[in-house]
Structure 1
């Protein structure tokens, strides 16, 4: 009898496993909306390998129940899910924002098993007051860019989206509409009490191929902390997209697909 993993998960495709962790408060379906178009473009393009994409719902989102309100407990649940789904098999990691923060933590715990990472708009210092937002550029909103977006998303989009066009807003709103209801009380407790991982300040290097993708207009995570994090990644590269904000894969999908493909090629 198969053991059910602690966290909700679904998979797309066949081949080498890639574990994908989403933004804070968003579930795996939203993350799939960002990644699946990119993987679709990459199929058969000089990679000579398939990819089994494993999308996780973090605790309090999607099909995943809350855990103790700390990032250490969240990462424990992610690690238990890895053990259930993959055992000791090698895998790649991808994470956006908080998911990237957790991905780095998982690589510190399982450096021999994690074969590489792509970290997108990733958290480095997770408390908002400790993030380096120096030099983040203001957006240049297209007139009427939010006219077709649900009003309840306007405030967040004005802050988080860098490439402020109607096409981007509509694309992102469609993805948000797929997000399952969240346990807001749990998420608030997590952010208030146990948000940083206990080893957040670790300088432990990770020797696999790493791509750090950032947006120059990211007013949530910035782009400077991620550049500083390169010191921990001897095989790391860094890309800062001038028009992108915190939802880079939705804001610059063509560039995102190209950079994702380059990272996968380096893995082989």
Structure 2
């Protein structure tokens, strides 16, 4: 349960924010803090095992990572938390809601992974939006293919914001991350389980997200009877950095629904 974390000084209900794969709690704070500002919540940003400043202190499987997060929640919080996450962090949040619903009041899922196996994802096949010449010039060549698939808001400014997020926070453990991502146990064992979560859920997806798509996420809404689903144009897999204004609006709506459910 030894996870590096940062929390705000607010004394309200806890919202625990889980990062995208390979990203740090600093990158997660840059993504979610503007959307949560002024809500009076105790914002908690975690570094997963082998990410940021947290050592690789568990087996390189998603179930072990999830169990470590659950142990942290059990130890540090005395009431169910709101869970927010992007991509892999959102994938873990949905797993926690399935396996330990007693720990969760509501879910904010941004570009969530639904299925880990890449060849099983339903990805958009439309051509990407046009981009100005040289829009990727500031990015290392090793990231060009990834960012070309990931971004719907294709401008030098967004690329710079995403690069800053990728470079922020602790170094992580690249060996652990590679073992985790290449393991057959990268998928949670109950990934396809049809388990219903009854709390307020908001799911945001990017119309041009060619990493996880948006169609699998819509089909998964049957698991969330109190769920809101949004697909945003001109947004991809890094939606919080591409479309911060709609993210804040939809987050505030989620929080109003949380308050109404209390």
Q: Give the TM-score range, shorter chain.
A: over 0.9
Whole-Å separation in 2 of the counterparts to 1:155 and 1:247: 14
Aligned pairs (5 A) from 1:123-162: 123-135=113-125, 137-162=127-152
Structure 2 gap ranges (5+): none
Question: In structure 2, what is the equivalent of residue 195 of structure 1?
Answer: 186
Match among 28, 33, 55 for residue 31 of structure 1: 28
CA shift at 1:173, angstroms? Answer: 1.6
**SS of the residue 1:26 aligns to:** coil
Shift of the 228–85 alpha-carbon distance from structure 1 to 2, 3 Å rule, reads same
Instruction: Give me the CA root mean square deviation.
Output: 1.5
Deviations 1:91-137 (A, max 9, x none): 10101000001000111122133111010000011111111114455
Deviations 1:152-202 (A, max 9, x none): 543322221111111211111222221421211111111122110011111
Whole-Å separation in 2 of the counterparts to 1:148 and 1:83: 42
User: Does 65-74 or 154-163 show the bigger shift?
Assistant: 154-163
Aligned pairs (5 A) from 1:109-128: 109-128=99-118
Whole-Å separation in 2 of the counterparts to 1:239 and 1:140: 23
1:267 aligns with 2:258: yes
Question: In structure 1, what is the equivalent of residue 237 of structure 2?
Answer: 246
Whole-Å separation in 2 of the counterparts to 1:187 and 1:149: 22
Structure 1 gap ranges (5+): 44-48
Q: Is the 8 A contact 1:137 1:216 kept in 2?
A: no
How many residues are treated as equivalent by the alignment? Answer: 256
Shift of the 13–145 alpha-carbon distance from structure 1 to 2, 3 Å rule, reads farther
Aligned pairs (5 A) from 1:188-227: 188-193=178-183, 194-227=185-218
1:99 aligns with 2:96: no
CA shift at 1:36, angstroms? Answer: 1.5
